[in-house]
Amino acid sequence: MKTVMADSLKVTVARTLDQVVMAMTLRGVIYLGEQQCPYEEEYEGNDFAAASHLIAWKGKEPVGVLRLRFFAGFAKVERAAVLKQYRRDGVMRLLMQEALRYAARRGYEKVLGHAQINRVKYWRTHGFQVRKDRPHFFFSDYEYVEIERKLVPPSNAITAETDPMVVIRPDGAWDEPGPSDRSLERLNKPGKADKKEAEEAA
């Protein structure tokens, strides 16, 4: 999954351990450094459990992050952060657009989030609405409300009926040939076809 803009901004899915560490390092600079969030509250044990990390890049420099977690029936956007010097460059808007597109491609029809009270107006610019039937709550010294955004999965959303060769491609890069696609080249090498036919006939 990649979106590229004229000013060299792009967003990718973190697929390697060093990229996940990169995402968590950026969060440390922003949440621990700027908001004085306690370490154990920022890194609460959900970074490797049904989660995807999106990284925004300006050129070769990682400048923003966002975490998505996946539950039955909804995805949850969280830990969105952009380095201070890049906050007027449209990084968060691109991150959010990609997060919503990515969740919809996975087949989700709803995304939830937790918004600080003073940030609700901003989240509305991304199409989120406050869940009025839910109470306000507090954590890490801030007051929050629950927000949600409806999604419409695209016609090529990943489902149980999706081509299995697409499902096993690197997450978020379902439209590009992956390692398993390239493994099929071995079937066309001399001797492989005869062996395959013999196995099928046995």
SS3 19: helix
174 in the same domain as 144:
no
Indicate which CATH number applies to the domain containing 7. 3.40.630.30
Under 8 Å between Cβ of 44 and 31: no
CA dihedral sign of residues 159, 164, 170, 175: negative
Q: Indicate whether this model's pTM tops 0.95.
A: no
193: containing domain:
161-202
Residue 201 has pLDDT above 80, yes or no: no
128 in the same domain as 186:
no
179 in the same domain as 99:
no
Overall domain count for the chain: 2
Residue 123 has pLDDT above 50, yes or no: yes
pLDDT in the model for residue 7: 60
Residue 41 has pLDDT above 70, yes or no: yes
pLDDT in the model for residue 35: 85
Interstrand relation of 9-13 and 51-58 (parallel, antiparallel or unpaired): antiparallel
Q: Exposed (0-12), middle (13-18) or buried (19+): which is 200, by Cβ within 10 Å?
A: exposed
Q: Per residue in 164-186, pLDDT tens?
A: 999 999 999 999 999 999 888 88
Q: Per residue in 43-93, pLDDT tens?
A: 999 999 899 999 999 999 999 999 999 999 999 999 999 999 999 999 999
187 in the same domain as 115:
no
